[in-house]
Structure 1
Amino acid sequence: MDGLQDLAARLEARLSTDPEVIARCARDTSRAAPEGLPVAVVLAECTGDVSAALAWANETGTRVSVRGAGTGLTGGANAYDGGLVISLERMNRILSIDADDRLAVVQPGVITAELDAACREEGLFFPPDPASARTCSVGGNIATNAGGLRCVAHGVTSDWIAGLEVVLADGRVMRTGARTRKNVVGYDLTRLFVGSEGTLGIVTEATVRLKTVPEGTPRTFRASFARVEDAGRAVTAIVNGPADPEVLELMDALSVEIIESFHPSGLRVPGGAMLVGQTVGLDSLAKAEEIARTCVEHGADDADISDSDQLLEARRLSNPALNARGLKISCDIGVPVSKLAEIFHGIKAISSRHGLRVSSVAHAGDGNLHSTVESPDTPAGIAAADAVIDDITKLALALGGTISGEHGIGSVKRHELPWQQDAVALDVQRGIKRALDPNGILTPDRAI
């Protein structure tokens, strides 16, 4: 590409045209295929590298995709044919942890679980906790406004971001937010960029809020149900009760079967579904016992409590287990918690109508479901599975839900946008995109 030598002169060894690097950075873990191969990958090591790369791309009209750890599930980080990939994996330093103000300053390539572990050495923790926390990056969590296992107690990523450093599409660098608890100066630009999926700017530094680690021994609970609908009703009762779990997850029978075949641990496959979760604090045992009683009252076959995290580890294995089985046609819907029993009943009916098995795992405490379709990895099989996902998504919307709870839209779900958002809302968002990226070079034709 004309002018690539100019960018190489600015970035030196941080610009790679190595075919192996290009192939590795060309896609995320979604079912979406890259449009083609990029001309180069920027292995950014600082904000200046990102700024130089975007200024060059803006000048030359080169489309840019942004890559963190590559764990995205919607095709948002996939390369553009003849485009430029900006990889943030080398920007992986924790710059500071301030225990007094309960803040940390990090680069976007920091792995989420590693940030959490470093904070725990100071008696603090980073509340966002995606199931892929050991492999996903803080920057990716910010890009998609990720939720995760602890979302029922602590909310989503945007609730824990105090400020950002962002490089705009033309290479300019700006800062948003403040280190203070309260800040009402100007528009809330921080939340504008959180969840924008790399379409408005590239985050190169984040100031994140932390929380004090609760005292006491965490307790893990498990309850098995013959019917997944009963598990859904139990979740509604738990969320509206006094027990206040930090984690409340659901795995249907097929999901447990797949996880157990991937990593045998003696987990008994339930007739319908299994609820697992965790309580924290000095009263964690009393809260876990209250939740176990609630589950039994709503039809659980059995319920038990332990000090082990093994059940939560099983939940974290759901994505690797499904990928190992070759199952990638999935959705990321959300419904009001009161509609959980209804959505599970509807998913069973949709599965039966299409003649394809559907496995579902859920951050049940906040109504966020991930349903995956068992279908052959052929064009016809993928089309059939996509039809099932479309029906499940439309059912979620009919129940007052959303097409995405935490994975984002990317390219995979962009066709669903008009199902949820009206024409005016879409026009406003695309107007914001044009204002910040008038040449349309930054993650174009994705997310909005």
Structure 2
Amino acid sequence: MTIPITEITRIVGKDHVLTAPEELHCYGYDASKMKARPECVVFPGSAAETAELLVLANRDRFPVYPRGAGTGMVGAAIPSGGGLVVALNRLNRILEIDAENMTAIVEPAVVTGDFQKRVLECGLFYPPDPASLQFSTLGGNVAMCAGGPRAVKYGVTRDYVLGLEVVLPTGSIIRTGTRTMKGVVGYDLTRLMVGSEGTLGIFTKIILRLIPAPEGVRTMMAVFPRLDDAANAVCDIIKHRIVPSTLEFMDQPTIGVVENYLHAGLPTEAEAILLIEADGREALLDEDASQIERLCREAGADAFKTGRSPAEREQLWKARRAISPALGQIRPGKINEDVTVPRTLIPSLIRFIQGLASRHRLTIVCFGHLGDGNIHTNIMLDRKDADERKRAERAVEELFRKVLELGGTLSGEHGIGIAKSPFLELEVGRDGLAAMLRIKQALDPLNILNPGKMFVPNRAFFGE
């Protein structure tokens, strides 16, 4: 396989092609910590240039790997077969914000957090809030169907994508969806593309739905001696027709490690802490906050705090934001799974995970989005320890089987990529997997675009 550098340079210009080893290294990894070096990195400046690159790839049969900001957790952007990385950095414009119709048109390299600030200036709101929003791009969010803490009330990225401009793997350009809230013409290609992890097309424009910005926010923290009581409180809150924008959870091991990191006076004897945020009209927020406190205390909370000012709210969020850096105190590495189960079954899942940790002599900490059942299960390990890696591998498979037994899913946010590809068939079944492969083959007959993702078993996430 030879990458035709001269022809690629003709398409995008010499200032937008990288071939030096030290430059290629920067585009060979993502947040999954997997690594593979491409042979070339290119920065197209338009859909037409992107299409030309893919036509060239089909002619010469070299693999193409689309890349946003590289914040993904499952290796979906890794150039696992070398080839060409198509980095979309130059397509970084907010093309339109239509405040009257509450829509926006953006290019894929717009940073999510920057976009949220821009639309907020117009009195509008773009709710999807992945943890990486200050760095991740909207194109990457769409490719992975990113979620975030606000999903319990507002949904995930796919709920805000109205349409796309997509360069297909063969180099043709299509436009899917509409600029309207309704549109049912033909197959829903927009939904097919959202969450396709760069295997079915490269996005060059995205039409997004916006909503009115909430007037105010209240942030609350509830401490529960018993995990089951915290789960019951969440169900009670929603049953009472209060849907908080955020319902975050920390288990006892997480509370302990964060307290050791922050020394903030967290109750390490508690089995669970809930971080709850409500937003909406100011006239109703205090009543909602009061109701939430009452329901939490009735469910068994023995402490409750409410933050009204930005400073008070930030103080309550401090513990949740400290989790990732705090985990480094336990082991140098981790496997961060984002399994999701019906929220009423979270206590059963957590108890299973506690047993899993004991059986395999591992430290496992759990936190995440209790409101939608999406629990980040962090298996702590030293990847240099071969025995610990093997125990972690067995624990992951047992975890996945239990999650499916509980009616859950292997990924609520991160996607499949390389990391979860060995387990995809467990959830979708043989016939479901075959259907997905037929779609891939129909759109990408030569397997040019992001090959080796989703469908091919690979244990690279254990450092092997």
* TM-score, scaled to structure 1: 0.94
Q: Which residue number corresponds to residue 206 of structure 1?
A: 206
Distance 1:2 1:151, change over 3 A: closer
Q: Which residue number corresponds to residue 237 of structure 2?
A: 238
User: Is 2:243–2:278's contact at 8 Å kept on the other side of the alignment?
Assistant: yes
1:383 matched to 2:384? The reply is no
1:436 matched to 2:443? The reply is yes
1:127 matched to 2:131? The reply is no
CA distance in 2 between partners of 1:320 and 1:150 (Å): 22
Spell out, residue by residue over 1:87-128, the C-alpha distance to the aligned partner (whole angstroms, 9 max, x if none).
Answer: 112322111111001011111111111111100000001011
Q: Which residue number corresponds to residue 17 of structure 1?
A: 19
1:190 matched to 2:196? The reply is no
Stretch deviating more after TM superposition (387-396 or 194-203)? 387-396
Distance 1:101 1:349, change over 3 A: same
What is the RMSD of the two structures over their aligned residues, measured on CA atoms?
Answer: 1.8
CA distance in 1 between partners of 2:65 and 2:52 (Å): 15
User: Is 1:51–1:167's contact at 8 Å kept on the other side of the alignment?
Assistant: yes
TM-aligned CA deviation for residue 289 of structure 1: 1.9
TM-aligned CA deviation for residue 239 of structure 1: 2.7
- Report 1:280-291 matches (<5 A): 280-281=279-280, 282=282, 283-291=284-292
Q: Which residue number corresponds to residue 412 of structure 1?
A: 419
Stretch deviating more after TM superposition (93-102 or 311-320)? 311-320
The residue type paired with residue 380 of structure 1 is D
Which residue, 353, 359, 383 being the options, matches 1:353? 359
1:220 matched to 2:225? The reply is no
Distance 1:293 1:402, change over 3 A: same
The residue type paired with residue 232 of structure 1 is A
User: Is 2:339–2:403's contact at 8 Å kept on the other side of the alignment?
Assistant: yes
TM-aligned CA deviation for residue 269 of structure 1: 3.9
Q: Which residue number corresponds to residue 461 of structure 2?
A: none
- SS, match of residue 334 in structure 2: coil
Q: How many residues are aligned here?
A: 445
Q: Which residue number corresponds to residue 376 of structure 2?
A: 370
CA distance in 1 between partners of 2:137 and 2:158 (Å): 15
Q: Which residue number corresponds to residue 177 of structure 1?
A: 177
TM-aligned CA deviation for residue 21 of structure 1: 2.3
TM-aligned CA deviation for residue 152 of structure 1: 0.5
The residue type paired with residue 439 of structure 1 is L
Distance 1:77 1:263, change over 3 A: farther
1:424 matched to 2:427? The reply is no
CA distance in 2 between partners of 1:313 and 1:199 (Å): 37
- SS, match of residue 218 in structure 1: strand
TM-aligned CA deviation for residue 380 of structure 1: 2.6
TM-aligned CA deviation for residue 331 of structure 1: 0.8
* Gaps in structure 1 of 5+ consecutive residues: none
Stretch deviating more after TM superposition (288-297 or 437-446)? 288-297
The residue type paired with residue 304 of structure 2 is A
CA distance in 1 between partners of 2:144 and 2:262 (Å): 29
Dislocated runs of 4+, deviation >6 Å: none
1:312 matched to 2:313? The reply is no
CA distance in 2 between partners of 1:433 and 1:313 (Å): 43
The residue type paired with residue 101 of structure 2 is D
The residue type paired with residue 218 of structure 2 is R
Q: Which residue number corresponds to residue 92 of structure 1?
A: 92
Distance 1:248 1:172, change over 3 A: same
CA distance in 2 between partners of 1:320 and 1:8 (Å): 41
CA distance in 1 between partners of 2:322 and 2:41 (Å): 31
User: Is 1:146–1:406's contact at 8 Å kept on the other side of the alignment?
Assistant: yes
Stretch deviating more after TM superposition (263-272 or 342-351)? 263-272
